[in-house]
Amino acid sequence: MIVGVGIDVVDIARFGETLARTPALRERLFTETERAMALPSLAARFAAKEALAKALGSPVGLRWVDVTVLRAADGRPEFDISGGVLETVTRMGIQTLHVSLSHDAGVASAVVIAEGER
């Protein structure tokens, strides 16, 4: 059963300007694994984290660094979650999180589908 769906879109250039203007933001938004990635990949990962928050109903207390967006062995993106995000996912009975990323024409986007039992 689908428990939640989220989508987000990020303007890559504007996101880059924000990161340049506020360097500490990179550490608040991204895990160590993600920080060295190219700007389009960072923007897509930020979109994925936003989409995940929306799929979870945007509960209070979620931390950006409780989510890492990784590339699975087959190339598909996947989440590694911990902390408050893991607690929320467990409480909601979510068993599977699907994520799709894209970046093209100056825009990064992500869609998240949360599956489980309520």
pLDDT in tens, 79-118: 999 999 999 999 999 999 999 999 999 999 999 999 998 6
CA–CA separation, 32 and 93 (whole Å):
28
User: In this structure, how many other beta carbons lie within 10 angstroms of the beta carbon of residue 67?
Assistant: 26
pLDDT at 118: 65
Contact of 56 with 97, CB cutoff 8 Å: no
Contact of 70 with 77, CB cutoff 8 Å: yes
Q: Which domain holds residue 102?
A: 2-116
How many separate domains does the chain show? Answer: 1
CA–CA separation, 12 and 52 (whole Å):
19
Phi, psi angle pair for 59, to nearest 5°? -70, 150
**Residue percentage of the chain with pLDDT more than 70:** 99
pLDDT band at 16 (very low <50, low <70, confident <90, very high): very high
Q: Which amino acid is at 38?
A: A
99: CATH: 3.90.470.20
